[in-house]
Structure 1
Amino acid sequence: MFHRALCLYFLVCAVIAVFILANAGSETPIIERLIYTFLYPLSGSIAAFYFWHRKVAGYLFGLLPCLSMVIRPIGEWAWISLPPPISLGFPMGDVAAGRGFIFDIWAALLSIRFIYGLYSNVTKQAAPESPD
């Protein structure tokens, strides 16, 4: 059930990210658009595919966009000016002056869950089988 919910989450994120990209103005640099396209719609769709088929690679592709959202700089330090598709961010620092960070608790929780999922799958595969 958890894998299906993650699949749905990443598909919704990918669709929202496509709409954000479609509405991005011409002032957004092309390199930002390419990075955004790789992080959210592309890796999110790949993660959704792997989660649907219950593959471990879904954790890796799901970890990429989540880690990029955990702490995002604002202002001149921002490496992507486009917003993430789904975020539960809390500002830290002097955000009104354009110097600060956004800490995304939802992305942090998902990242911890994905790292745990990777760890549990690796330890499950590495465990020796008992001779019967």
Structure 2
Amino acid sequence: MVHKLTAITLSIYALIAGCLLLFSYADKTIWQQFIYAIIFIVIPIIGTLSSLYGDKGGISLVLLLMASQVIRPLTPFEFFPFYAPFSLAFPFGQIEQGKGYLFDIFAFVM
């Protein structure tokens, strides 16, 4: 049951990222959009399949992705066209000056 719930959550995560990339205009280059697709679409799909089939390698790849998303700068990364596709983040630090950080509860729970 937990594996199916994880697979469904990661599938929705990848679907939202795909829709962001497909239906939004991004002013970044094709290379930056490709990297965004690899990180936020392909890795969650690998995690979905790994969760369904019980492969630990793909799940550890998703674990690294989510661990990198737990605390991130408030200002968007210059390299990615968008933020993470789904986020329940709370700001902390000096948010008035734009130098704070976001603590993502969703990535922490995943």
Name the TM-score class by shorter chain. Answer: 0.7 to 0.9
- Pairwise CA distance, 1:18: 0.3
Q: How does 1:63-74 map to 2 (within 5 A)?
A: 63-74=63-74
Which segments of 5 or more consecutive residues in structure 2 lack a partner in the other structure? none
Residue by residue over 1:70-106, the C-alpha shift from the partner in whole angstroms, topping out at 9 and shown as x without a partner, is 1111227655351212211101123343222111122
1:80–1:96: structure 2 CA closer, same or farther, 3 Å change rule?
A: farther
Partners of 1:87 and 1:31 in 2: CA distance: 24
Answer with 1 or 2: which has the greater Rg: 1
Match of 1:124 in 2: none
Matched, 1:18 2:21: no
RMSD between aligned alpha carbons?
2.0
Structure 1 letter corresponding to 2:47: A
TM-score, L = length of structure 2: 0.83
Aligned residues: 110
- Pairwise CA distance, 1:50: 0.8
Match of 1:91 in 2: 91
Using CA pairs below 8 Å that are at least 6 residues apart, which structure has the higher relative contact order? 2
Match of 1:104 in 2: 104
Matched, 1:32 2:49: no
Partners of 1:25 and 1:59 in 2: CA distance: 31
2:90–2:102 CA contact under 8 A, matched in 1 = yes
1:56–1:67: structure 2 CA closer, same or farther, 3 Å change rule?
A: same
**Identical amino acids, percent of aligned pairs:** 27
Which segments of 5 or more consecutive residues in structure 1 lack a partner in the other structure? 111-132
Partners of 1:107 and 1:63 in 2: CA distance: 9
1:14–1:45 CA contact under 8 A, matched in 2 = yes
1:79–1:64: structure 2 CA closer, same or farther, 3 Å change rule?
A: farther
TM-score, L = length of structure 1: 0.71
1:81–1:67: structure 2 CA closer, same or farther, 3 Å change rule?
A: farther
1:36–1:53: structure 2 CA closer, same or farther, 3 Å change rule?
A: same
